[in-house]
Amino acid sequence: MGGTPAATPELLEETLKVLAENGGNISAAAESIGVSRCTFASRVYKARSTPIPPEETFRIKGTSTLYDPDGNVKIEWVKTEVDKERAEALAKVAILALMEGIKPTPKTPSPKKTDSDLLVALMIGDAHLGCYAWGDECSGGSTDTDIASRDLILAADRLIASTPDAGEGLIVNLGDWFHADNLASTTTAGTTLDTDGRRARTVRIGVQVLRHIVSKALEKFKTVRLRNVKGNHDQNAGLILDEAMRAFYAKDTRFILEDTPADLFIHRFGTNLIGITHGHNVKMEALPGVLAVDAREHWSDCEFRYIWTGHVHNRRCIEAMETLCESFRTLQSNDKWHSDKGYRSQKEMVAIVLDRNFGEVERHTAGLKRVRAGQ
C-alpha cells in the first residue's frame, strides 16, 4: 500500500542532509529526491523540532554483571560512551539546515595593490566567547561575552591595519572559539563551566565577530583563507562557524574556507610549510614528526617549517627537526576553575608575516592593555 513514508529518525536526518547539499533551497532539495515541496518542507519542520534521542548519540562500551553465590544475575551495568562521530554528524546537519535563508554578503572590492610574496597570518588564540569571570575571584579581571567580543574586534582591526598589504591573509582561529559546547554549559567532554548569557546570543555574537574579521581581511588582502580549528571546548558548537562563513561569503571568490576535517591542517606558502592544530591531542614535542609524515610531499622542499597551536593559553616555543612549534596566548581572562588552578599568562593577539622565500620576516603584537587604551 502506498503513502507518505513514516518520519523516522533516519528519514529526518537524510532530509537535513539533502537540504544542506542543495544549499538550503527547499524547492531544489525536494526536486532532487522526487517529492513535492510541501512534503519536503514538512519533513524539514519535523526534523528541526524533533529532539535527538539519547540513544542516537551514545553507544554501548561494555557491561558489568554482579552474580549471587548461586550464579544468578543480581545487577547488570551497561557502560556507555558518547559516539563522537555520530554526535558531530547530527550537529552538523542541524546547523546546515539553520543556515537556510542567509543572504550572501556582497563581494568586497579587491585591494588595488598587494604583495604576492607575503602572507599575513592572524593568530586568534582561544577566544572562549561565552566565558564568565568575576574579577574579584579570577585572575586577569572580569569578562563576559560583550567584553571578550569587543577585545577581539579591536585587536584584529589593529593587526590587520598594521600589517603589510599581503597577497594572502590567513585567519587562524586556534580553537575553543566558544567556551561551552551546549545548553548545559559544558565542554564537549562534559566539564561544567562558568558561562555568560543566553546560548543563542553567544553563538550570534560569535558569528558576528568572525564575520567582521573576515570582512576586514578581505579589504586588506587579495586572498583570505579561514581555518577554524577544532578545540576541546566546542567541537560541535564550533561547526556553525564554518557553515555560517560559507553561507555569508558564498559569492566572494577571494574567500577560501579551509574546512578539511583533519585535526592537523597543512598549508604551504612558497618555501614555508605550516601545520595548525589546537594542541590537545598530540604533545608539542611530537608534532614535527606528525607534520613530516602527513606533509611528506612538501617536507624536503620547504626550508621554513612552522606548527601553530592554542589550548594552553600561554606562549611556548620549541624547535625540533628544524620545525618551530609555537603556542599562542589568548585575550580572554581566566574563569574561576583555571584561576584557582594557578594558570596565568599575558594577554595578546599576534600577526605573523611570512615571505614566500625567506620565512618569517615580521611579527605584530596587539597586547590587551594597549588594545583597550586605543593606542
Smallest Cα–Cα separation from 278: which of 239, 322, 308, 252? 308
pLDDT at 105: 87
**Pure H helices in the chain:** 9-21, 26-33, 37-49, 84-98, 145-162, 199-220, 239-248, 287-294, 296-299, 336-340, 368-373
Which residue reads 548519540 in cell numbers? 57
Radius of gyration from C-alpha coordinates of the chain: 23
What 3-state DSSP class applies to 12?
A: helix
- The more confidently predicted of residues 294 and 36 is 294
Terminal Cα-to-Cα distance of the chain (whole angstroms): 74
Return phi, psi of residue 153, to 5°: -65, -45
pLDDT at 132: 93
> What is the rounded distance in angstroms from the CA atom of residue 132 to the CA atom of residue 335?
6
C-alpha dist (Å) from residue 67 to 61, 70, 75, 371 = 20, 8, 7, 65
pLDDT score of 96 more than 70? no
Domains parsed from the chain with CATH numbers = 55-86 (no CATH), 115-373 (3.60.21.10)
Smallest Cα–Cα separation from 360: which of 368, 352, 348? 352
- The more confidently predicted of residues 121 and 86 is 121
pTM of the model: 0.78
Q: Summarize pLDDT for 123-135 with one digit per residue, the tens.
A: 999 999 999 999 8
Question: Across all residues in the chain, what is the average pLDDT?
Answer: 86
